[in-house]
């Protein structure tokens, strides 16, 4: 039976991730709140929220887990040429809410969005408190792609990405991986299998291995000021 979380207790522990359901894969708990304290506790234990408008908050820890080492990004020749031609300019945390809004827009292949207004408010507050970050791809003054996620220790928990021109989200992820490798991040959590991310170098690992890596890296130190000046030699 799923554990029902108390929406008024931000410190309530989550059940062990090993108790998550097999079908649907990884569903662990229901309810609670989206306070920064609860969200940080969730990410520190390999758990993330994912639900749609009209549903209660659902908490997940799937098995297997999709991960990407920052040094392991698969940079194709086409994308490398695009980057060398400087078709995009990049920034970090310059337009967090713009990236969040773009990621919440309906996709052609799906109905609705999982980024509910409540979720968006929660991640904006996470950003204000220094946990959530964005990487942006620009063409001139136009925001054409990007991604956002949560950084804890040497872990980055990727949440969503978007593009408005071809290759913009891939370019943003390539830049993010190069920057994070430079800053000392060890692992990017991509959550669940997608062919797109697999083609870019992500791989699946058992949840138990993910939890072990999480325990190793979540308390390590990364200079938080790196996100304020993300200019790195990355190609």
- Concatenating the DSSP letter of every residue in 109-163 gives TSSS-S--HHHHHHHHHHHHTTSEEEEEEEETTEEEEEEEEEEETTEEEEEEEEE
Distance CA 227, CA 17 (A): 30
The 3-state DSSP class for residue 190 equals: strand
Distance CA 60, CA 2 (A): 11
The CA–CA distances, whole Å, from 18 to 25, 64, 155 equal: 11, 12, 21
Q: Give all domains of the chain, ordered by start, each with its CATH number.
A: 3-62 (3.30.70.3550), 66-228 (3.40.630.70)
Distance CA 133, CA 175 (A): 14
pLDDT (0 to 100) of residue 230: 74
pLDDT (0 to 100) of residue 109: 47
pLDDT (0 to 100) of residue 223: 85
- Along the 235 residues of the chain, how does pLDDT read in single tens digits? 799 999 999 999 999 999 999 999 999 999 999 999 999 999 999 999 999 989 999 999 999 999 999 999 999 999 999 999 999 999 999 999 999 999 998 765 445 467 899 999 999 999 999 999 999 999 999 999 999 999 999 999 999 999 999 999 999 999 999 999 999 999 999 999 999 999 999 999 999 999 999 999 999 998 878 888 776 544 4
Q: What is the pTM of this model?
A: 0.94
pLDDT (0 to 100) of residue 225: 81
The label of the residue with tokens 């773009």 reads 102
Q: How many C-beta atoms lie closer than 10 Å to residue 18's C-beta?
A: 11
Torsion of CA 39, 212, 179, 75, to 10 degrees: -120
């Amino acid at each position: 039976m799923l554990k029902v979380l108390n929406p008024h207790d931000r410190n309530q522990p989550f059940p062990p991730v090993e108790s998550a359901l097999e079908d649907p894969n990884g569903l662990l708990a229901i309810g609670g709140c989206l306070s920064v304290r609860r969200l940080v506790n969730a990410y520190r234990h390999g758990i993330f929220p994912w639900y749609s408008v009209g549903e209660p908050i659902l908490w997940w820890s799937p098995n297997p887990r999709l991960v990407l080492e920052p040094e392991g990004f698969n940079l194709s020749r086409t994308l490398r040429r695009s980057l060398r031609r400087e078709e995009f300019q990049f920034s970090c945390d310059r337009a967090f809410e713009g990236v969040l809004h773009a990621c919440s827009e309906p996709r052609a292949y799906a109905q609705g969005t999982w980024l509910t207004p409540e979720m968006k408010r929660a991640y904006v507050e996470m950003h204000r408190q220094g946990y959530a970050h964005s990487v942006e791809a620009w063409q001139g003054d136009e925001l054409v792609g990007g991604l956002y996620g949560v950084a804890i220790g040497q872990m980055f928990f990727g949440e969503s990405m978007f593009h408005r021109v071809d290759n913009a989200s891939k370019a943003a992820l390539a830049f993010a991986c190069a920057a994070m490798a430079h800053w000392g991040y060890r692992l990017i959590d991509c959550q669940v299998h997608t062919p797109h991310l697999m083609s870019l170098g992500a791989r699946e690992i058992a949840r138990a291995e993910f939890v072990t890596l999480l325990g190793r890296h979540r308390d390590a130190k990364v200079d938080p000021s790196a996100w304020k000046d993300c200019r790195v030699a990355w190609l």
